[in-house]
Amino acid sequence: MTKSTAKATDKTPSRVTKQDRIASLLLRDEGATLDQMVATTGWLPHTTQAALTGLRKKGYAIESDKVDGVRTYRAVAPE
């Protein structure tokens, strides 16, 4: 068995990235605030907002609304 065959048949799950964590927060019915995403990833706010742009480029439809001065983001996953 070659190395490439071993890797192709390996059943290990891929790791969960910080961007995956942000996506899971956004896909919840209540969505997520920037503070929640920052707390989950440990990133600075501007880095977290850049990750939202990355998710948009991956096909996520991201919406936001502001209630009582707090912006909440929600997303719909790409098909």
Does any domain span residue 10?
no
Tokens 């996953």 correspond to what residue? 77
List C-alpha distances in Å: 52 to 2, 12, 45, 65: 39, 28, 11, 15
Range of the domain at 53: 16-76
CATH number of 30's domain: 1.10.10.10
SS3 percent helix, strand, coil of the chain, rounded to 5, is: 50, 20, 30
Give residues with Cβ within 8 angstroms of 48, minimum separation 6: 22, 34, 37, 38, 41
pTM recorded for the entire structure? 0.79
pLDDT in tens, 25-79: 999 999 999 999 999 999 999 999 999 999 999 999 999 999 999 999 999 999 8
Is 34 part of any domain? Answer: yes
Greater confidence (1 vs 39) lies with 39
Looking at the chain, how many residues does it have? 79
What's the structural domain count of the chain? 1
Question: Is residue 36 one of the residues assigned to a domain?
Answer: yes
The per-residue pLDDT for 27 is 97
